[in-house]
Structure 1
Amino acid sequence: MKMVNWKGISALLVVGVLLTGCASNKAARVSDQKVDLVEEVGDATQILVKNAVVPINKQKAILSTSFANIDNLQESSTFGRLIGDTVAGDLVGGGFNVIEIRLRNSLYMEPRVGEFMLSRELRHVSAEHDAQAVLVGTYAVGGEYVYVNARLVSVNDSRVLSSYDFRLPLNRDIRKMLSSNR
C-alpha cells in the first residue's frame, strides 16, 4: 500500500490558493485603476488638433456634440457627454471658437458605411455660425477599457480632418458614467 504524501498535497493546495488570490487581486486592481480623465482627454485633444490634415482656423467655429455609443449611435451617456464637453473645453482653452450643439438625430453615422453624414439641419447651423468643422466621437466598452475615438469632421464635405483614438481604464467611475444612458 502506498502512503499519501500529505505535506506535498498541502503545499500544492497552498500554492493554488495563493495563485487564485493573486489572479483575483489583479482583476480588482484593473477595475480600481485610477485615471485623470481630464488630463487624458486634454492630451487627446492636443493630438487631435496637431494631427489635422489642414490647419484648424481658430477664428472659424467648431461645432461640438456629445460622443455616442458605437453600438447604438443614437445613444450617449454621462461618459459620452462628459468626453465631448471636455474636448470642447480644451479646444476653447486652446483659443478655438467652439459652439455647443446638442443635435441628437441631426448627426449620425451610417451603420454599414461608417462615414459621417451631415443633415440639412446641421448644415444650416454650421452656415449660420460660419463653422469649419464639427467635433464628433464614439466610444466602445471593452472588458478592461473603454475605447474612445474623437474626430474633427468638415461641415462642407464630411471629410475627416483629424482623428485620434485613446483608451481609458474601465474603473468604477467610468462604469457608473457609462450606465447612465439618455
Structure 2
Amino acid sequence: MTPLSSPRNHAILLLACFAVMVAACYPKPKAPTPDLIDAGYYIVDQLLAQTKIPLRPDDVILVTTFADVSNLQASSTMGRMLAEFTASGFTRKGFLVKEIRLSPYNVYTVKREGEFVLSREIGKLGRQYKADFIVAGVYGHTGNRTYVNAKLIAPATGDIYSTVDVVLPIDS
C-alpha cells in the first residue's frame, strides 16, 4: 500500500470532501446594506471632508428635511429620518445644530411633511436662525436604488461649499 492510499489518508480526504460539501450548502452572508443612520453619518463626513472652508465647532448648522426630487414640496419618512441622522452626525462631531421645528418662527412646512428650504428662502431661514450653514438635500428612487444628494450651503450668500452623493439599495 502506498502512503497516499492508507486508510488514514482516505479518512482525511473523506472529511475534507464532507467539509467542502457542508460549506457549499451553508448560506453565504449577504453584504451589509447601508442603512439611513450610516448614510446620514457618511453625508456629514463627506460634507466636512470636501468643504471649501473649514467649519468651526461654534458654527450653527441647520439640517432641513430631504425632499423628493420629483416633487420638491414633498418628503417621506425616509427624507425626514435621513435629515435626523445627518443632524445627529453633525452633533456627534461637536457642531451646534439647531432644531428648527422647536422654534417659534413659522418655518416653511408642508402639511407634516417636514421642513424644506428653497433657494429663494435660504437667506431668510439663515437669518431667522442665525445659521452659518444649511444642509439641504434631495432624493429620488430609480429602479432598485435611491439616489441622495446633499449640499452644505452658506445662507448669507447661497454659495455651496460642499456636496455629496449617496446611492442606497432598495431592499425588496
Match of 1:155 in 2: 155
Match of 1:23 in 2: none
Across the two proteins, how many residue pairs are aligned to each other?
Answer: 132
Match of 1:78 in 2: 77
TM-score normalised per structure 1: 0.65
1:70-126 CA-partner distances (Å, limit 9, x unpaired): 010000000000111110110011011111325336622xxxxxxxx142xx53442
Task: Tell me the secondary structure at the aligned position of residue 43 of structure 2.
Answer: helix
1:116-150 CA-partner distances (Å, limit 9, x unpaired): x142xx53442244311111000010101100001
Task: Tell me the secondary structure at the aligned position of residue 147 of structure 1.
Answer: strand
Q: Structure 2: give runs of 5+ residues left out of the alignment.
A: 1-29, 102-107, 111-115
Q: Structure 1: give runs of 5+ residues left out of the alignment.
A: 1-29, 109-116, 173-182
Report matched runs for 1:25-40 at 5 Å: 34-40=33-39
Assess if the C-alpha contact under 8 Å between 1:65 and 1:100 holds in 2: no
Change in CA separation of 1:118 and 1:57 when aligned onto 2, cut-off 3 Å: farther
Amino acid across the alignment from 1:104 = T
Task: Tell me the secondary structure at the aligned position of residue 98 of structure 2.
Answer: strand
Assess if the C-alpha contact under 8 Å between 1:118 and 1:155 holds in 2: no
Match of 1:41 in 2: 40
* Aligned mates of 1:107, 1:41 — CA distance in 2: 18
Assess if the C-alpha contact under 8 Å between 2:123 and 2:158 holds in 1: no
Match of 2:55 in 1: 56
Q: Give how far 1:153 is off.
A: 0.8
TM-score normalised per structure 2: 0.68
* Aligned mates of 2:73, 2:132 — CA distance in 1: 24
Asked whether 1:104 is paired with 2:114, we answer no
Match of 1:142 in 2: 142
Match of 2:168 in 1: 168
Identity within the alignment, %: 28
